[in-house]
Chains A and B, each alone.
Chain A
């Protein structure tokens, strides 16, 4: 097998892209789930504020999503730009 420098760099970029998105997906997944869990609890206790609580949940999740999107961006950069 002829392995050259450019090939190793590409191989590392592909593996890195997979790891970046894979590991980067853990945190947002758990965090957004927790936000939604607390929103369900709050709505159960105070159903009249369901609209406000859903809105707050979605805003909180969107912010929590940001690190997942960073991982996605880095993975795409590694795949197509590097």
Chain B
């Protein structure tokens, strides 16, 4: 049995579309379900506010849905866009793009559910703060979506670039690594950002006078949490745009694939850990505004230490690309 390259490209686009939508649906489903659960609990606690809570739930769910919509768009593109690039590299490109968007949507989907859920609970607890809670939720859950947007950007660049002029080996490993680096790296920061935004909504509802300082702490904490996703984006850009010399050996290709996996998986832990740190810091700032300076300082120190393993991963990924 022998098939031509066009058949294999079709196969890869179907597999990529399945991976993109299948993996991409996991996170959003959990996030939206969490929001719905919290909204129901909030309504039973304060039935008079159920109209407002229902509205907030729907807005929050719509934003948490974005990541899954990105995955749907990429899956559709994989199915219907035919590229002029007919080479074996295209097979790796299509699967890489699917994996990138699929993994990339998990973290942001789960994360987007937390601020929406906490905002619903907050409206039941403190109806006067409904407006402020909606704003905080919108800001928080939009920032949560950035890792998914990184993954979308990488997947689209992969889909619309023409790699046919590049040597098959090791370019196939570079494009697959690029997809994995950005996609898997988005899981942790997306989830961590969600925790922080949720804590801020809770703090605003519990202590309305602390709303400003809690929001500032949230933005600071989320920015630091995001860094490992940016490392993943950096590595995947290097892997996509650097041209690698042709080789017959397996080792250079595996170095590039290993680099993508290293940065992708290595970004999960710091993303979640830094999110946990900022979650607690924002909660405490809400309860005790007088100590906000001390709390922000400790939060940043703790996050910096937690970042270190992400930086080790970045170093190893760069060594794998540029040194060996």
Q: Does B294 have its Cβ within 8 Å of any Cβ on chain A? A: yes
Complex: how many Å from CA A24 to CA B266? Answer: 7
Q: Does B156 have its Cβ within 8 Å of any Cβ on chain A? A: no
Question: Which of A1, A24, A29, A50 has the largest count of B CB atoms less than 10 A from its CB?
Answer: A29
Selected contact of A65 from candidates B281, B301, B303, B308, CB within 8 Å: B308
- Note all chain B residues with C-beta closer than 8 A to A17: 258, 262, 316, 320
Complex: how many Å from CA A54 to CA B301? Answer: 9
Q: Are B305 and A36 in contact (CB under 8 A)?
A: yes
- Note all chain A residues with C-beta closer than 8 A to B126: none
Give the contacts of B245-284 with A (CB-CB under 8 A).
248-251, 253-255, 257-277, 279-281, 283-284
Selected contact of A27 from candidates B261, B269, B285, B290, CB within 8 Å: B269
Question: How many residues on chain B are close to A (CB under 8 Å)?
Answer: 63
Selected contact of A7 from candidates B249, B272, B279, CB within 8 Å: B249
Q: A14-B255, A32-B273, A37-B279 are in contact. Are A26 and B268 (CB under 8 A)?
A: yes
Q: Does B50 have its Cβ within 8 Å of any Cβ on chain A? A: no
Complex: how many Å from CA A72 to CA B272? Answer: 20
Selected contact of A79 from candidates B268, B301, B309, B319, CB within 8 Å: B319
Question: Which of A23, A25, A65 has the largest count of B CB atoms less than 10 A from its CB?
Answer: A25
Q: Are B298 and A65 in contact (CB under 8 A)?
A: no
- Note all chain B residues with C-beta closer than 8 A to A7: 249-251
- Note all chain A residues with C-beta closer than 8 A to B251: 7, 10-11, 14
- Note all chain A residues with C-beta closer than 8 A to B313: 21-22, 25
Complex: how many Å from CA A50 to CA B259? Answer: 40
CB-CB contacts of A41-82 with B at 8 A, as 1s and 0s? 101110100100110011001100100110110011001100
Complex: how many Å from CA A63 to CA B240? Answer: 37
Selected contact of B269 from candidates A25, A36, A43, CB within 8 Å: A25
Give the contacts of A27-43 with B (CB-CB under 8 A).
27-41, 43
Q: Does B135 have its Cβ within 8 Å of any Cβ on chain A? A: no
Complex: how many Å from CA A15 to CA B261? Answer: 8
Complex: how many Å from CA A24 to CA B320? Answer: 16
Question: How many residues on chain A are close to B (CB under 8 Å)?
Answer: 55
CB distance from B175 to the nearest CB of A (A): 16
- Note all chain B residues with C-beta closer than 8 A to A35: 302
Q: Does B113 have its Cβ within 8 Å of any Cβ on chain A? A: no
Q: Does B132 have its Cβ within 8 Å of any Cβ on chain A? A: no
Complex: how many Å from CA A26 to CA B149? Answer: 22
Q: Does B287 have its Cβ within 8 Å of any Cβ on chain A? A: yes
Question: Which of B249, B253, B274 has the largest count of A CB atoms less than 10 A from its CB?
Answer: B249
Q: A8-B250, A17-B320, A26-B268 are in contact. Are A61 and B298 (CB under 8 A)?
A: no
Q: Are A36 and B299 in contact (CB under 8 A)?
A: yes
Q: Does B241 have its Cβ within 8 Å of any Cβ on chain A? A: no
Q: A21-B313, A40-B298, A43-B294 are in contact. Are A33 and B262 (CB under 8 A)?
A: no
Q: Does B23 have its Cβ within 8 Å of any Cβ on chain A? A: no
Q: A18-B261, A68-B308 are in contact. Are A30 and B250 (CB under 8 A)?
A: no
Complex: how many Å from CA A30 to CA B169? Answer: 36
CB distance from B190 to the nearest CB of A (A): 14
CB distance from A5 to the nearest CB of B (A): 11
Closest to A4 in B: B249
Q: Does B312 have its Cβ within 8 Å of any Cβ on chain A? A: yes
Q: Does B155 have its Cβ within 8 Å of any Cβ on chain A? A: no
8 closest Cβ pairs, A-B complex = A33-B273, A36-B302, A29-B269, A18-B258, A44-B284, A22-B265, A18-B262, A26-B269
Chain A interface residues toward B at CB < 8 A: 1-3, 7-8, 10-12, 14-19, 21-41, 43-45, 47, 50, 53-54, 57-58, 61-62, 65, 68-69, 71-72, 75-76, 79-80
